[in-house]
Structure formats: structure tokens, C-alpha cells
Amino acid sequence: MRVSRLMLVTLRDDPAEAEITSHKLLLRAGYMRRLAPGIFAYLPLLWRVLQKVSAIVREEMAAVDALETLLPQLQPADLWRRSGRWDGYTAGEGIMFHLVDRQERSLGLGPTHEEVVTELASDLLRSYRQLPVCLYQIQTKFRDEIRPRFGLMRGREFIMKDAYSFHADEACLRRTYAAMDGAYRRIFERCGLRAVAVEADSGAIGGSASQEFMVTAEAGEDLILASPDGRYAANQERAVSLPAPPVPLEVSACQPLATPAQKSIEELCTAHGFDPTQTLKVLLLLARFAAAPPRGVLVCLRGDQQLNDVKLANAVTARCPDAGALLEIVPLLADHLCDPVPFGFLGPHLEDPALRQGEARVAAAPMLRLADPSAADLEAFVCGANRSDEHLVGARWGELCPRPEVVDLRAAQPGDRCLHDPSQRLEAARGIEVGHIFQLGRKYSEALEARFTNEAGGEEPLWMGCYGIGVSRLAQAAVEQHHDADGIRWPVAIAPYTVIVVIASSQDPVQVALAEELYERLRVGGCDVLLDDRPERAGVKFKDADLIGIPWRLVVGRAAGERKVELVDRSGDTGKRELAADAAVEQLLGLPGASP
């Protein structure tokens, strides 16, 4: 391709709309344009990158016997109601774009395809003899993100590879899951990305085991906690660790303590010399559901610990199976209550308060009472007395109130000791989630009655897995990981073009002739090559070549008369060197990806 015909528009200044480097560079280098928040036009250069990523994905999917398909993006609400996800995905903070058609039928614009693919599987997969099967597609997904940001990192319309596998038993699911794990590692490696696999929360997709693939980068939205020995890595949403041991509380009996206006753990400890690990933190929350009245939640944590919202949401969802989708969990405020409670002085023995909805009292289920092990394991502790300006010192579970149900709710922090080896301490890194694989189990097949006949002749629900890669996000993550002060430095495997032939002086017919010849030879040889034939000064062309990040630059300049050219490695590894034109062509045609 000739640069003069490429519709290349590069910008000198960083666009004001972009915050992080990769977003700025993709805009400046003419790879994309924003149409609306989270909605981008992929310009020809970016489309080539996305195609190259897709090609690698296709090869690796084929290697694990996955079948490419293309599934509908317009999806009937009814299907989503049957899986139980319509309300959660459309009401409240749901992310599904949805609409009503001329027949008054509700439709959603596919944010993911578990429902559609499961419906298809229930239709087509009748016998264990057909299993396992893995289907995948590379397609635009639609998600009405609460806050789109950072360009392709979190778009409302983005390209995703999603795969779904179906199995006769769990062992088979595990094998495919492991094969996908391997395929994913190869995909990211081939794309030139440094990625790490971490344990993850399954989120709205659900299922049991799940693992995320993170491209490590400062601009990443996720916090990764990992052990230095490399044996444990998890998203902070999911991470587990050992909290610091508590300082024992030396008291004989439970006694009240006057604590005027000491509402925070910090104030309490400062005033009376307690260590935060000796205190109990009681949080009052309100969970709202799609199909049930709101329910109060009382959470106990050790005073020095923080609540992990994701763990809490999972715990609440698991304990309210008939309430429909969990819409949100918010702090319980005085406005929600019929009678005041002494916020700041709460203890775990707080009686169920009556909830108010508008002006009406809600006949609420009893509060859900949960305690993190850090709180449940305390022998004796300091907690609120459920009376203003008063705490209890030396309270014990069993004496004060029954010990609540114990569930892991605390947020692991960098510096915490690891479970597998307490001498290791968790270290923090930021990551961009580019892939996520799940063992779904039978969640969708049970809901949508996707059953097969097993070897014994009985019917049972299919076992399922699903496996996603954010293709457009991956492209931007690559820029985030591979750039310098001059612009993008694409890994060769996903660069839009492998080589750019630059004519230093377009006025020199000798240079033009040689450049045209080399361009043609490279093109015919199967190399993805650009020819910068624009009547610009050399400096402009060099700057643009650096900015758009083509891995190899072949400069045809002063030495063209002796058929000598200059070859520059954008990655900076080998620098620039002068060599015979024929040798340069030979070398470039020998590069990976150069032949058709």
C-alpha cells in the first residue's frame, strides 16, 4: 500500500479526550476515531491489526478443535428471562442495550452469548456421542457500560472472541478448560504481550472456576496480587490471604466503656489505646433484588480489615436464591429505617431493624448476618454497644450473640501473607484484563433445559465452559505495553504492516525508482509493506513511520545510486544499519509473517 493512498491523518498534539498513552497514540497515529463515548471507528490501519490478532486467535482455536460460527446479536428477551438474567442485565445497573420491536417484542443487543449458544446446543446436541463440542465467534459485543473509558479499553461496542464448550461430564470440561488455558497463553505470547494468568471472580457470567489473563501495565484497571514465588496470583476481587495476627485483648469479663463521639475505629483506638485488630467493625448494608424486597445485611470484620464488595455480593447472592438478580448493595442509611440505630456504635448483637420503603414498613426477612473469619476468630473483642457513645470491651461470641455465619469477605491487600506459604507476601501489580476463561458447569444448561442423552440412556444437562478474549482491547493493551516517546512499537505479529519503505527525497528519480522496485519485490514476496511515496520532507516521513509503529523501516536515500539502503528496527534492538538493497529485501522476506 502507498502511504499517499492510505488516508493517513496523524496529529501532532495529544487529543484532549485521551488520558492514557495507548489511547493518545492510537488517536494521534490515525488508527481510530471516537464517534460517541465508548464507540469508535476502526480506521484501516487498526482494522489490519485487529485482523492479525483475529488470525492468530483463529489458528489457536483451530488447534484445540474449536469451530468458528457467527451468532445473532439481536437476542429475544424471552431467552434471557429463561436463564434468569434479563432483569439483572437490563434493570438497575444492567449493561444490556435493549429495545422493543414493532411487534412489541423485547430484544437485547448481545453483551455475551451464553443464552443463544445454549439454546443452539439444546437443539443440536442430543447425544454424548457428539460431545465435546466447542464453538467460537469473533464479533462485536454491545455493553452499555456505566462508564466507558480509555478508548478501546472499555467500549460500549467492542470486538470479542467468545467460545463456548459443551461436555458430557465435568472431567471433559476440565480438559477443555486446560486446553483453552494453553491456547490463551500461546495467543498472548504470539501477539507479543506479556500476560499473566490470575484467579478471578466469575462475576455476572457465573460458574465455578475462572481465570483471567492480564496484560501487565500501569494503566490497567485491575489490581493483581501475586506471590513473589509465582505460585499464586489473583485479581484483588478474588484474592485470599492471611491477615496479620491480632493483638490479644487481655480482659476477664465484658464491660461497657464510655466512648463519647468516638464513631470510627481510629478514634476509638486513639482514645483508649486499643489496637485495631482487637476491635470489631460492624457494617450495615442494604441489598436490593430484582424479584424480592430489599434485605438488610450485617457484616462483621476485624477493625483493621476492609470489605471486599465482590465477595460480599457473591455471598449475598448465594444466600438469597429466590430473590432474583442482586441489583445493588448500598450502605444502610437512616432513611431506610423506621427507627434510628446508633451508627458508629453498632455491635453484632444489633436486633433486626424495621426497614422503610417510601412511607411503608417492609415486612423484611431477617437480616443476613455474616462474619469474615478475621472477626469470627477473635476470642474477645471491642465492639459497639448498640447505644450511642458506648462500646463493649471483652465481648465474646456466644455470650454477646451467636457467632454469625462465617464467610470470606475481606479484601486482601499487598503485603498480606500468602495462604500457601506465609513467608511469602503478596505483591501488587496493575493489569489489563484481555482474556477470561470460565468453567460454567450446568448453570445455563439447567436454566435453558439443554440436555443430552448419556451413555446409560438417561437425560442430563450439558456441562459448559466459556472463554473470552477482548480482541480490540488486546490491540490497545499491546500499544500500552509497546511504545516509546516517538510512538507505537507494534510487535511484528500484529503490526498493520511489517515494513515501511521510505523514499528520503521524492525529487530524486534514482531513489524513487529503487524504492518502487524494492516495494514491489517485497509486496510480491508476500510481505505486508507500505511505501511512503508522499512528497514530504524526509523528517516528516520518519516521524510518521515512528508514530504509527511499523516494525521495520527501509530507507531509500542518498546511497540509492549504489543500490544501498538503510534498515531500521523500530524496536531499537539492532538500531540502524546500511546494507545492499538486495540483502535487505532478502532479510525482510525471511521475517516471520512475511510470506503469504
Q: Which stretch binds RNA (CB under 7 A): 78-86, 145-153, 239-247, 410-418?
A: 145-153
Q: How far apart are the first and last CA of the chain?
A: 16
Supply the minimum distance, in Å, between the C-beta of residue 34 and RNA: 6
With 0-12 / 13-18 / 19 or more C-beta atoms within 10 angstroms meaning exposed / middle / buried, residue 335 is exposed
Nearer of residues 188 and 452 to RNA, judged by Cβ: 188
Nearer of residues 328 and 520 to RNA, judged by Cβ: 328
Nearer of residues 10 and 73 to RNA, judged by Cβ: 10
Q: Judged by CB under 7 A, does residue 559 bind RNA?
A: yes
The interface mask with RNA, positions 443-482, x = CB under 7 A, is -------------------------xxx-xx---------
Nearer of residues 12 and 102 to RNA, judged by Cβ: 12
Nearer of residues 152 and 522 to RNA, judged by Cβ: 152
Supply the minimum distance, in Å, between the C-beta of residue 89 and RNA: 9
Q: Judged by CB under 7 A, does residue 331 bind RNA?
A: no
Q: Which of 4, 68, 172, 203 binds RNA (CB under 7 A)?
A: 203
User: Which DSSP letter does residue 548 get?
Assistant: H
H helical segments located in 104-169: 114-124
Supply the minimum distance, in Å, between the C-beta of residue 156 and RNA: 7
Q: Judged by CB under 7 A, does residue 205 bind RNA?
A: yes
Give dist(CA 555, CA 500) in Å, integer: 8
Instruction: Give the SS3 label for residue 467.
Output: strand
Q: Judged by CB under 7 A, does residue 85 bind RNA?
A: no
Give dist(CA 466, CA 112) in Å, integer: 10
Q: Which of 12, 102, 171, 457 binds RNA (CB under 7 A)?
A: 12
Q: Which stretch binds RNA (CB under 7 A): 6-14, 46-54, 73-81, 387-395?
A: 6-14
**DSSP-derived secondary structure for 294-306:** -EEEEEEEETT--
Q: Judged by CB under 7 A, does residue 540 bind RNA?
A: yes
Distant-in-sequence, close-in-space partners of 24: CB < 8 Å, separation ≥ 6: 14, 15, 18
H helical segments located in 207-283: 265-272
Cis peptide bond N-terminal to 132, omega within 30: yes
Q: Judged by CB under 7 A, does residue 167 bind RNA?
A: no
Nearer of residues 262 and 314 to RNA, judged by Cβ: 314
Distant-in-sequence, close-in-space partners of 490: CB < 8 Å, separation ≥ 6: 49, 192, 478, 479, 482, 496, 549, 550, 551, 570
Q: Judged by CB under 7 A, does residue 381 bind RNA?
A: no
The H or E element that residue 179 is part of is helix 170-190
- Do 180 and 465 form a contact (C-beta atoms < 8 A)? yes
Output 103-106 pairs: Cβ under 8 A, ≥24 positions apart. Answer: 105/76, 105/77, 106/76, 106/77, 106/78
User: Which DSSP letter does residue 385 get?
Assistant: E
Q: Which of 70, 102, 104, 147 binds RNA (CB under 7 A)?
A: 147
Nearer of residues 117 and 382 to RNA, judged by Cβ: 117
User: Which DSSP letter does residue 117 get?
Assistant: H
- Report the residue count for the chain: 596
- Binding stretches for RNA (CB under 7 A): 10-17, 19, 28, 34, 36-38, 93, 95, 112, 143, 145-150, 152-155, 158, 160, 203-205, 212, 221-222, 309-310, 313, 328, 433-436, 468-470, 472-473, 486, 504-505, 507, 537-540, 542-544, 546-547, 555-559, 566, 568, 576
